[in-house]
């Protein structure tokens, strides 16, 4: 006899609600290539710099996940990055290390993802000029955006990310 309970649980896993915090892959560690970026070195060292700059609040605000699909930080927020860290990922027979962000979703972001209007994420990394000193800090996680055309086609869908995420590593575990 088929019951409704397993189907109900499956449906719940397919939705994200406003206020939920879920992992989103920022980028997998590796040397990648694309039409837009012929050489795209997304290294573990870069990930460590992004984590350190995030934890030091170099950006001065929480990085936004914008709803434009174009890294338009003037667009309404789909979510806010709460944490950045390294964790493994599994995609079929491939296992690797990736930079991840825990994102708290707004009602707009939850609706865009739950209604399948967007599936993937994209990252914007760049320099930030410090307001007090005028010094430039390179390699800051400036924003994420929802997109349907990620530069790296190996990126998991945002709603699928938790299932693809493996062991979480903290900065202190890596430094030791």
Of 70, 165, 162, the C-alpha closest to 118 is: 70
Give the model's pLDDT for residue 164.
Answer: 85
Give the model's pLDDT for residue 73.
Answer: 86
Give the model's pLDDT for residue 169.
Answer: 55
What's the pTM? 0.84
Alpha-carbon torsion (158, 163, 166, 170), positive or negative = positive
Give the model's pLDDT for residue 152.
Answer: 85
Give the model's pLDDT for residue 12.
Answer: 42
Give the model's pLDDT for residue 35.
Answer: 79
Give the model's pLDDT for residue 39.
Answer: 85
Q: Is 151 exposed, middle or buried (0-12, 13-18, 19+ CB in 10 A)?
A: middle
Of 171, 122, 139, 172, the C-alpha closest to 58 is: 139
Tens of each residue's pLDDT in the chain, 176 residues: 444 444 333 334 468 999 999 999 999 999 888 777 888 889 999 999 999 999 999 999 999 999 998 999 899 999 999 999 999 988 777 789 999 999 999 999 999 999 999 999 999 999 999 999 999 999 999 999 999 998 888 888 899 888 888 766 554 444 44
Extended strands (E) in the chain: 21-28, 30-32, 40-42, 64-66, 77-91, 94-105, 120-129, 136-147, 165-169
Give the model's pLDDT for residue 167.
Answer: 61
DSSP-assigned letters across all residues of 91-130: ETTEEEEEEEEEEEEPHHHHHHHHTTS--EEEEEEEEEE-
Q: What is the DSSP letter of 157?
A: P
């Amino acid at each position: 006899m088929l019951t409704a309970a397993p189907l109900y649980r499956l449906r719940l896993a397919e939705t994200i609600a406003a206020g939920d915090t879920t992992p989103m892959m920022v980028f997998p560690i590796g040397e990648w290539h694309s039409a837009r970026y012929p050489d795209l070195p997304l290294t573990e060292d870069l990930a460590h710099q992004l984590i350190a700059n995030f934890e030091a609040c170099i950006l001065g605000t929480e990085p936004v996940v914008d709803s434009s699909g174009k890294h338009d930080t003037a667009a309404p927020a789909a979510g806010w990055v709460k944490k950045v860290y390294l964790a493994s990922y599994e995609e079929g027979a491939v296992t690797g290390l990736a930079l991840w962000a825990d994102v708290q979703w707004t009602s707009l972001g939850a609706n865009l993802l739950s209604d399948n209007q967007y599936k993937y994420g994209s990252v914007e990394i760049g320099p930030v000029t410090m307001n007090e000193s005028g010094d430039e800090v390179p390699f800051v996680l400036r924003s994420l955006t929802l997109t349907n055309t990620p530069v790296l086609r190996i990126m998991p869908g945002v709603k699928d990310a938790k299932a693809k995420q493996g062991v979480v590593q903290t900065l202190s575990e890596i430094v030791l």
